[in-house]
Amino acid sequence: MNDPLLSRFYGVIPAGGTGTRLWPLSRAAAPKFLHDLTGSGSTLIRATYDRLVPLAGNRIMVVTGEAHGTAVTAQLPELSAADLVLESEPKDSAAAIGLAAAILFRRDPETIMGSFAADQVIGPVEVFQEAVREAVHAAATGKIVTIGIEPTYPSTGFGYIRCGESLGVVGAEHAQNVVEFVEKPDEDVAKDYVDSGEYLWNAGMFVAPVALMLQHLRENEPELAAGVEKIAAAWDTDQRDAVTAAVWPTLPKTAIDYAVAEPAAAAGDVAVVPGKFTWDDVGDFAALGRLNPASDAGGMTVMGDGARVYVDDANGIVVSDTRRVIALIGIKDVVVVDTPDALLVTTKDHAQQVKGAVEALKAHGEVDVL
């Protein structure tokens, strides 16, 4: 994109979480973002990276678990070691995004970072990119800018953003102040939110001057801020690994929403750009079914290159990660996920309960398949 302000922009991709509700497709060793969940030919993290390139060029940083370093590098061969933060243990989003902000601040205090999770599905990419471009302009006025998704239904699975008056920024015509962030509502409240037209879904996307991110982090989580700044001071030196190894495990574990976004909103420092693109965090197998068209007239979505599926009077989604023949007869909205060492059979209505299954399997010591 041709916009001089983008020279200050740096993309950050937090790639965490195992996507428990997508077990046994998504695993601790092969989380959601390392899968192609849309049949596009790209893994979610590769697609996330590619969406940012027109805005950031190769100025993109990834924060992920140590176990995924090799897989991420294989997906993103152009990523330099200095732009790959490997967490020795998960510390939630405030540490991940805070460390990225601190590193980028030391490289250039004028940087405007944009943080986008590695496991979201977005389209069309041009509409997303235009929203980010506006967000960068709004951020340059001294705001933490989130991109809110226009709700398509009264979801109880997402947090919401209450929008205020227009920010009136040239180059960010759609940017508005954020009145508040609200937690996942119940169904009635969600309906009121959607009907009011004042609320957007919180997709966890933040575009902000790194200086402002760090300022709020220092105010709300001084210990965390001091820790990430200590690592950042060593990052682009030969002390990177030693200092990171010493400090990272000591960092408090908290979400960026509590550490920065909500207090900053209360302080009037947060704006929002509405995103008119489609957005899905592929939260469960029902979502996977929505994202992938049915393979037959009966409404069965079949995923998997080697799938050998026979369907009689059934619909839903089958994910086949084996060469086994799968016969499905007479179940509506079925979800079948067939992998070499684990099999899930449920329905779309129960897609959220998959998380409970994973927890139970863990409690029963069946850790080899998690």
Q: Which is nearer to a second copy, 147 or 288 (CB)?
A: 288
Tell whether residue 266 is a contact of a second copy (CB under 8 A).
no
Q: Half-sphere exposure of 39 toward its Cβ, with a 13 Å CA cutoff? A: 14
Interaction of residue 342 with a second copy, rule CB under 8 A:
yes
Q: How many residues interact with a second copy (rule CB under 8 A)?
A: 37
Q: Which stretch binds a second copy (CB under 8 A): 10-18, 135-143, 246-254, 326-334?
A: 326-334
Burial status of residue 172 (CB atoms within 10 A of its CB: 0-12, 13-18, 19 or more): buried
- Which of 253, 139, 145, 252 is closest to 203 using CA atoms? 145
Q: Which residues on neighbouring strands pair with residue 308, listed in sequence order? A: 325
Any contact of residue 336 with a second copy (CB under 8 A)?
A: yes
330 is a site residue for a second copy (CB under 8 A): yes
Does the footprint of a second copy cover residue 29 (CB under 8 A)?
no
Q: Are 68 and 234 contacting, i.e. CB atoms less than 8 angstroms apart?
A: no
Which region among 120-128, 200-208, 243-251, 328-336 touches a second copy (by CB under 8 A)?
A: 328-336
Minimum distance from CB of 10 to a second copy (Å)?
A: 41
The answer to the question of residue 5 lying near a second copy (CB under 8 A) is: no
Tokens found for residue 71 = 């897989």
CB 179 within 8 A of CB 163: yes
Among 14-22, 107-115, 244-252, 360-368, the segment contacting a second copy (CB under 8 A):
360-368
Nearest to residue 7, comparing CAs of 51, 83, 59, 52?
59
Total count of residues recorded for the chain: 370
Q: Interface with a second copy includes 295 (CB under 8 A)?
A: no
Binding status of residue 305 toward a second copy by CB under 8 A: no
Interaction of residue 325 with a second copy, rule CB under 8 A = yes
SS3 298: coil
Contacts of 26 (CB under 8 A, 6+ apart): 18, 19, 20, 32, 35
Among 57, 142, 157, 340, binds a second copy (CB under 8 A): 340
Three-class SS of 124-155: CHHHHHHHHHHHHHHHCCCCEEEEEECCCCCC
Q: Per rule CB under 8 A, is residue 344 in the interface with a second copy?
A: yes
CA distance 363 to 370: 11
Which listed range, 38-46, 123-131, 261-269, 347-355, lies at the site for a second copy (CB under 8 A)?
Answer: 347-355
Does residue number 334 form part of the binding site for a second copy (CB under 8 A)?
A: yes
Residues 139-178 that bind a second copy (CB under 8 A): none
Q: Pick the closest to residue 112 from 208, 205, 217 (CA basis).
A: 208
Interface residues for a second copy in 65-104 (CB under 8 A)? none
Min dist CB 323 to a second copy, Å, is: 8
Q: Please report, as ranges, the residues that interact with a second copy according to CB under 8 A.
A: 23-24, 308, 310, 312-313, 323-331, 334, 336, 338, 340-347, 349-350, 353-354, 356-357, 360-361, 364, 366, 369
